[in-house]
Amino acid sequence: MEKTIHKFWESVDSKSNAYRGNPSFESMEDQFIFNILKKIKKGNLLDVGCGKGDRTERFTKTIKGNATGIDYTDNMINQAKKRETRNLHFIKTDIFKYNPPEKYDIIASCRCIINTPTDKGQLKFVSRLHDLLKPYGHLILVERSKQGLERFNKLRKSFKLPKIKERYHNHYLNENVLMPYIRDNFDVLDIQRLGGFFFALRFLKPLFCGRVDGVESQEHSRLCEAVQNTLGNKLDEYGMQLLLHLRKKNT
């Protein structure tokens, strides 16, 4: 399976939906990430699974310090390298083989761990990130939750909406396996699942508009964002995202 997933990323068109996903989610993810970075202000940053590097480039505009993006495909790294500057570099490598000379103040990884196809592999992935961080270093993860998806599908089922399936190359994070390791090794500073956004976009909208999961208009996206911003905390259990802000313990 690892080879199939690698092949997928080696050939995917970075303009396609398969690469970036839904633009409205990206904007919600960005709000989460950049609010954190604005508070941290400075430090050396590693972006794991950086893809074509556009987010990594935006990180350098928020954080004072050097940024390194790593990705295990030529497809992505060749595009990313065009963005290199004095303080922004890209390296083709697999996270499981990366051994930099220094540890990082901040590591961000967006929709990358879901490409490791087993719970055990994902645990190893997060422990690699832990090893690459300085004590009290920040880890920002933007992933998807297996339990969030299950809860949301249960809700959809009770209203006869079809199940949302994971893409074949994704393995959503099993919180029952990962969170005990995370809580032992990191302080959890924030955890969000964007439940309000999912509830509006993938439940209310198909229910009332009679349309199942199409691409939404900007107006719909704005309304879903408003639901997230007002009711997000109350509806968190229905979110399939797993946005985490963690700080490494000094152990």
Using CB under 6 A as the criterion, which residues of the chain lie in contact with ligand SAM when the complex forms?
9, 19, 49-51, 55, 70-73, 76, 94-96, 110-112, 115
Give the nearer residue to ligand SAM in terms of CB position, either 113 or 235: 113
Q: Is 134 helix (H, G, I), strand (E, B) or coil?
A: strand
Q: Pick from 136, 135, 134, 115: which is nearest to 125 by CA?
A: 115
Q: Is 144 helix (H, G, I), strand (E, B) or coil?
A: strand
Q: Is 95 exposed, middle or buried (0-12, 13-18, 19+ CB in 10 A)?
A: buried
C-alpha distance from residue 203 to each of 38, 67, 156, 164, 214 (Å): 33, 38, 7, 11, 12
Give the nearer residue to ligand SAM in terms of CB position, either 14 or 174: 14
Q: What is the DSSP string of 45-111?
A: EEEET-TTSHHHHHHHHHSBS-EEEEES-HHHHHHHHTT-BTTEEEEE--GGG---SS-EEEEEEES
Closest distance to ligand SAM from the beta carbon of 145 (Å): 16
Give the nearer residue to ligand SAM in terms of CB position, either 94 or 119: 94
Closest distance to ligand SAM from the beta carbon of 250 (Å): 27
Q: Any idea what DSSP says for residue 237?
A: G
Count CB-CB contacts under 10 A for residue 228.
25
Give the nearer residue to ligand SAM in terms of CB position, either 29 or 225: 29
Closest distance to ligand SAM from the beta carbon of 28 (Å): 13
Q: Pick from 251, 243, 17, 249: which is nearest to 108 by CA?
A: 243
List of residues 6+ apart from 11 with CB closer than 8 A = 75
Give the nearer residue to ligand SAM in terms of CB position, either 33 or 235: 33
Give the nearer residue to ligand SAM in terms of CB position, either 5 or 235: 5
Closest distance to ligand SAM from the beta carbon of 56 (Å): 8
Closest distance to ligand SAM from the beta carbon of 161 (Å): 25
Closest distance to ligand SAM from the beta carbon of 8 (Å): 8
